[in-house]
Amino acid sequence: SKKDLLHRVLSCILALVLLAATGCAAGTSTPPVTPTPSAPGMPPPGVPDPRETTRAYLDAWQAEDYSAMYGLLTSISQDAINSDEFTDHYQGISTEAALKSIDYEILSSLTNPDTAQVGYRVFFDSALAGEFRADTLMNLTLENGQWRVQWDVTLVMPQLKGSNYLS
């Protein structure tokens, strides 16, 4: 069926992106996010839980509250993209994919003292493509005692990295 074919194609694309990202990561100087010796998925004592910021961001996306999403971005991310461009990006994807709704689930969380990474799965319901999902990662930075989202286009789906787009 078309739904199964789309799911297989998206799975292959995701596998290729992850393979490419793994190969590219070997040459970078950015240190990997490593878990702290706290309980699995929990931030160290005294540090807020980054999953709460991730939930707030994804809940706002579900509600199409782009200004709330934008307010959760790091100051560097807000310097890189203004509110109108940010809103246009999400509305454009929603229109292009003919999204009827999205849902999500949190899959994992790794926390360092000032950085975190939360893995999540987004479930899309599209009038054009039916239901499909994407697993992706959200990188966060601790700013003024609160987690803030390091925005990039892969927060929607990892296949949008680089010059890729929906069409």
Which pLDDT score is estimated for 81? 96
Q: Mind listing the pLDDT tens digit of every residue in the chain (167 residues)?
A: 444 444 444 444 443 333 334 344 344 343 444 444 445 556 666 788 999 999 999 999 999 999 999 999 999 999 999 999 999 999 988 888 788 999 999 999 999 889 999 999 999 898 887 888 889 999 999 999 999 999 998 888 665 555 544 44
The reported pLDDT for the residue numbered 42 is 61
Longest dimension (CA), the chain: 50
Residue 67's pLDDT is: 97
Token pair for residue 34? 């490593």
Per-residue model confidence (pLDDT) at position 66: 96
Q: Round to whole Å and give the CA distance between 32 and 106.
A: 20
pLDDT of amino acid 44: 61
Spatial strand order of the sheet with 99-111 comes to 99-111, 115-126, 130-143, 146-149
* pLDDT value, residue 76: 97
Q: Which residues pair with 105 in a beta bridge?
A: 121
